[in-house]
Amino acid sequence: MKRLLSILVCLALLTVMIGGCAKTDNQQEKKERVAVILMALDSEFWELVKAGAEKAGADMGVDVIVMGPANESDITGQVNMIEDQVTNEVSAIVLAPSQPAAVIPALEKAKAKNIPVINTDMEIEWEGMAGFAGTDNLTAGRVGGEYLISKLQPGDKVAIVRGSPGLIDHDQRTQGCIDALAGSGIEVVSVQPANSERGRAVTVAENILQAHPDIKGFFATSDQMSLGIANVVKTQGKLGEIIVCGLDGEPDAMTAILNGDLSATVAQLPFEMGRLSVEMAVKTIRGESFNNHIDTGCILVTSENAQEILKELNAALGK
């Protein structure tokens, strides 16, 4: 009887050990998942961020899920996405926030679940943020302003068409341009929002030109808006008379520059934003050290270098 009891105890212990080993193996096999939540997926800029994020995921052996609302003004949609991924208990979140005040309550829920958050594109102030990779937007705005100075004369008038009011990155780009123009003798006669939408930028540009027909230049804080403005300038037969400079560096903008429809753009490096942000997220998950604040830089693109940069962007998009 004692011998039988000993055998049964040994079998029970063996079952527990096997079960424990199986559970450990399953846990090891479970892949890390990084949710990349962007402002939108309605432009090639965000497609490039997506491509960079997916490249980092493939290189580092993690699952990367990229999502975003239909447009950048769908703030509620983005908040819902953050909350859904917290509920799904992803390993980490990479976020390009639409409205800082709106997303922070959702980020607090991520923090409560010990889900690290990496900030990309628009930098926001939140004490729980594990890192940031993106453009210094004040500098990018200054580059746009300096380009206008190089093409215009003291006494000329310009307008700034910007993204949605309250977006920190567009605030900074606008201010950077204004700072650069200060003391140049070039007058900023209008600053109007077009919410980073090409169609809305057409209407805004038409209104500005009606009020200020002698305007000589536009700076737009996104390429979607600069392309809308460039269309108005072309339609009104003012190509060559009015300078239009955008900001983002989308392939469509490069093509417009090469066609002579757009003067210039200040190109961000969205592929690198996506790649470096996911790298940060994975290193955070794995407890590895890393530089937690990276300025990904910007480049002025004109007809002189647009072809080369467009080739690189198309390669990143698999074209």
- Count structural domains, the chain: 2
Residue 316 lies in a domain: no
Nearest to 230, CA basis, from 208, 251, 250, 260: 260
Task: Give residue 166's pLDDT.
Answer: 81
Residue 162 is assigned to a structural domain of this protein: yes
Residues 143 and 257 in one domain: yes
Q: What is the pLDDT of residue 33?
A: 97
Residues 149 and 262 in one domain: yes
- In this structure, the answer to whether residues 238 and 274 fall within a common structural domain is no
CB 196 within 8 A of CB 225: yes
At CA 207, angle to CA 204 and CA 213, rounded to 5?
A: 125
Residue 74 lies in a domain: yes
Q: Tell me, yes or no, whether 259 and 144 share the same domain.
A: yes
> In this structure, is residue 16 part of a structural domain?
no
Rounded to 10 deg, the angle between the 270-286 and 44-60 helix axes is: 40
Whether residue 124 is found in the same domain as residue 151: no
- Cross-sheet strand order for the sheet of 63-67: 63-67, 33-37, 92-95, 117-120, 131-134, 293-295
Q: In sequence order, what are the residues at sequence separation of 6 or more whose Cβ sits closer than 8 angstroms to the Cβ of residue 156? A: 186, 187, 216, 217
Residue 38 placed within a domain: yes
Domain-embedded: residue 179: yes
- DSSP SS3 for 39: coil
Clarify whether residues 166 and 232 are in a common domain.
yes
Residue 32 contacts by C-beta under 8 Å, 6 or more apart in sequence? 61, 62, 63, 91, 92, 282, 285
The most distant pair of C-alpha atoms in the chain lies apart, rounded to whole Å, by: 106
Q: What is the pLDDT of residue 167?
A: 83
From CA 173, how far away is CA 45, in angstroms rounded? 17
Asked, for residue 17, whether it belongs to a domain, the answer is: no
Same domain, 142 and 257: yes
Looking at residue 209, its pLDDT comes to 98
**Which CATH number goes with the domain that contains 111?**
3.40.50.2300
Examine the domain organization and report whether 149 and 241 are in the same domain: yes
pLDDT of residue 26: 42
In a shared domain, residues 55 and 115 = yes
Q: Which of 96, 59, 81, 73 is nearest to 283 (CA)?
A: 59
Say if 73 falls within a structural domain: yes
pLDDT at residue number 29: 52
Contacts of 214 (CB under 8 A, 6+ apart): 157
Asked if 139 and 176 count as a contact pair (C-beta separation under 8 A), the reply is yes
> Which domain covers residue 60, as residue numbers?
32-135+269-288
- First CA to last CA across the chain, in angstroms? 75
- Sign for the CA dihedral angle at 48, 50, 55, 60 comes to positive
Residue 158 and residue 253 in one domain: yes
* 167 and 61 both lie in a single domain: no
Alpha carbon distance 128, 103 (integer Å): 13
Q: How far apart are CA 268 and CA 316, in angstroms?
A: 14
Which amino acid makes up residue 114?
N
pLDDT by residue, tens only, the chain of 319 residues: 445 444 434 444 444 444 444 434 444 456 899 999 999 998 888 999 999 999 999 999 999 999 999 888 899 999 999 999 999 999 999 999 988 889 999 999 999 999 999 999 989 889 999 999 999 999 999 999 999 999 999 999 999 999 988 888 899 999 999 999 999 999 999 999 999 999 999 999 999 999 999 999 999 999 999 999 999 999 999 999 999 999 999 899 999 999 999 999 999 999 999 999 999 999 999 999 999 999 999 999 999 999 999 999 889 888 8
* Side-chain half-sphere exposure of 317, counting CA atoms within 13 A: 17
Residues 152 and 262 in one domain: yes
pLDDT of residue 4: 43
